[in-house]
Amino acid sequence: MVKTELRVIYGDTDQMGVVYYGNYLRFFEAGRNEFIRAKGLRYRDFEEAYALRLPVVDAQVSYRSPARYDDLVAVETSLAEVRRASARFEYRIVRGGELLATGSTVHACVDLEGRVRRMPPELLSRLSVGEAPAGPGKGA
């Protein structure tokens, strides 16, 4: 699990003063990028090295309690499953000890033309399902 702290900015909130529901997916993306970075690889480097992309093909969010402007929240990101051509990440968003939201995203591995491809063995060796990283990783 990799923990990423974010400060809620005013632009993340709706008219009611709480984080707009769609912005939780942005928080998931921030957590996912930091997860990959903690494994020693920047997402940009992955795209360039392998000429592959990992688009979201499924997303799920369960909301429990609202985050508000200026809250410091943590996105806890884990890689739950890796298949030949897809990966599923799970997320928990917390404020202090309070669970605000949970969710997951599934990503297909595709080439630049959008055709499904197998995950490269080198990438699979860097990603460990359910393991916490030893340090911040390269390219931080």
| Gap between the Cα atoms of 130 and 113, Å rounded | 31
Our answer to whether residue 45 is catalytic in this structure is no
> What does pTM read for this prediction?
0.87
Nearest to 40 by CA among 118, 134, 111, 109: 134
Question: What pLDDT is stored for residue 76 in this prediction?
Answer: 98
Q: What pLDDT digit, counting tens, does each position of 65-119 carry?
A: 999 999 999 999 999 999 999 999 999 999 999 999 999 999 999 999 999 999 9
CATH classification number, 2-123, choose in 3.40.50.620, 3.10.129.10, 3.40.190.10, 3.30.70.3270: 3.10.129.10
Instruction: Return the structure tokens found at 36.
Output: 């990959």
Q: Which one from 14, 58, 70, 111 is the annotated catalytic residue?
A: 14
Question: What pLDDT is stored for residue 136 in this prediction?
Answer: 33
| Of 8 and 129, the one with more pLDDT | 8
The pLDDT confidence band at residue 129, using thresholds 50, 70 and 90, is low
| Of 33 and 137, the one with more pLDDT | 33
Residue 123: half-sphere exposure toward Cβ, Cα within 13 Å: 26
Q: What pLDDT digit, counting tens, does each position of 42-73 carry?
A: 888 888 889 999 999 999 999 999 999 999 99
Tell me what the mean pLDDT of segment 1-24 comes to: 96
Question: What pLDDT is stored for residue 3 in this prediction?
Answer: 98
Domain boundaries in the chain? 2-123
